[in-house]
Amino acid sequence: MVVHTAYLARIERVRRRHVVLREFGRVLSLCLVLLALLAARVAAQERQLDWQGQVRKYCDASDWPSAMRVLEQQIARAPGDLDLKAWRARVLTWSGRLAEAQQEYLAILKLSPKDPDNWAGLASVYAREGKKEDALRALDTAVQLDPRRADLHAARARALRALGRRGEARAEFQKALILDPPSTEARVGLKSLRAEPKRELRVGNETDLLSYTAANEGNWASLATRWTPVWATSIGGVAYQRSGVLAAKFIGSATAHLPRFGAITTGGAVGHDNAVIPKSEAFFDLDHGWKTGEGTVLRGLEFSYGQHWYWYRTARILALNGVAIIYLPREWSFSLAATGARSAFSGTGVEWRPSGSMRLGFPVATWRITQLSGNIFYAAGTENFALSDQIGAFASQTYGGGLRFRFSERQDITCVSSYQRRTQNRTDTYLGFSYGIHF
């Protein structure tokens, strides 16, 4: 009996040992499975971080083909990953391929219409294409999906500002500031909605250093006022010193800004001529522009045509002017101008004299609110104006350039210099400077 009891106890211990080992094996297997899953997830996250890091690096360097190559490789491995496709849409937008970016965002939103980031991305594409109303509608949807995001309210405020709905834009920037008090974007946006300056006062000096006579001087001041969105005026005065002779004139003009026809300007001038400047002048200009959006190299076009009459004591001059301006990416511009001058002197016949010029404008540097921009130009033609420094006709070639430095939101200075070679080995070195304040 004692032997039998000991035998049963031994069997029970063995059975318990097997149970413990079996449970331990199950726990160990479960741990191994969990570790494998965790390792796979970590590896996937590392791969995701790796491709995102590469894409960001290439985008920072504006190397769009390399960024797209990385994304295409990842999309080939995971064609259903909407995050990858969203990144592809962003890179297409940043690289200026707006039509493709728009199609990519629309395809993503068909599959996932509840992501506010994708609606905001589509809005940025519309904004760069010049589709302001479409951009606002996309941002309306984004804000409805997540009304607690300050960045979406700020983006909607910018869209409203672009449409001229300044009161609504101000309310949206204020909402963004309430949701995110430290938001620099919201504060800058509110600051941008301050009342726009309606007046520009500008004063300047011009000097012509002539190789064949004394230098010519000119000092001037002008005040331009935008009374309403449609009407604006400009008045100014100029004092001249030419070959030791003093002269002065007063200039005035009015401009109507009409949505369909562009800007129409008309004006005139009267002067104390002393036989060196016109006794009176009259002029008008027509100006019209078209904005094509940011999806192409050609961002906009502007054309202007003007006629200017000069009445001297012994001559009458009519100048016909035409200018075409091409607006390019990154604030570059290129313009071509042509002038035909019809002169009629007492005792002589009537003749026409042509001239033309080209100008390239470009940004130089930007530091927060300060900005430096420049331009270079070339002009060639013939003249036959009855000025004391231009008796008779001459041909000329002019090379020059200028700089404009905006050192505050409402103040700037400009300087221009040129060198003109005339017939008979004469030269004219021009120096011009002006200061402007907006208020």
- Residue-range domain boundaries for the chain: 114-194, 201-438
- How big is the CA angle at 428 (ends 221 and 364), to the nearest 5 degrees? 65
Q: Hey, which residues does 236 pair with through a beta bridge? A: 222, 251
- What does the pLDDT read at residue 12? 64
| 3 state SS of 163 | coil
Write out the chain's pLDDT in tens, 439 residues: 544 566 556 666 666 666 666 666 676 677 666 666 665 554 444 455 588 889 889 888 888 899 999 999 998 888 888 899 999 999 999 998 999 999 999 999 999 999 999 999 999 999 998 899 999 999 999 999 999 999 999 999 999 999 989 899 999 999 999 999 999 888 988 888 877 789 999 999 999 999 988 899 999 999 999 999 899 999 999 999 987 899 999 999 999 999 888 999 999 999 999 988 999 999 999 999 988 766 678 889 999 999 999 998 888 899 999 999 999 988 999 999 999 988 877 666 788 889 999 999 999 998 877 899 999 999 998 875 544 444 456 789 999 999 999 998 899 999 999 999 998 899 999 999 999 999 9
| 3 state SS of 185 | helix
Q: Which are the contacts of 292, defined by CB distance < 8 A and separation ≥ 6?
A: 130, 298, 299, 300, 301
| 3 state SS of 147 | coil
- What does the pLDDT read at residue 196? 77
Structural contact between residues 110 and 97, judged by C-beta atoms closer than 8 angstroms? no
Q: Hey, which residues does 232 pair with through a beta bridge? A: 226, 255
Q: Could you give the CA distance from residue 344 to residue 314 in angstroms, rounded to a whole number? A: 9
Q: Hey, which residues does 374 pair with through a beta bridge? A: 362, 403
First and final CA of the chain: distance in angstroms?
115
Q: Which are the contacts of 244, defined by CB distance < 8 A and separation ≥ 6?
A: 214
Question: CATH for 201-438, among 3.40.605.10, 2.40.160.40, 3.40.250.10, 3.30.565.10?
Answer: 2.40.160.40
Q: Which are the contacts of 24, defined by CB distance < 8 A and separation ≥ 6?
A: none
- CATH code for the part of the protein at 114-194: 1.25.40.10
Q: Could you give the CA distance from residue 269 to residue 311 in angstroms, rounded to a whole number? A: 10
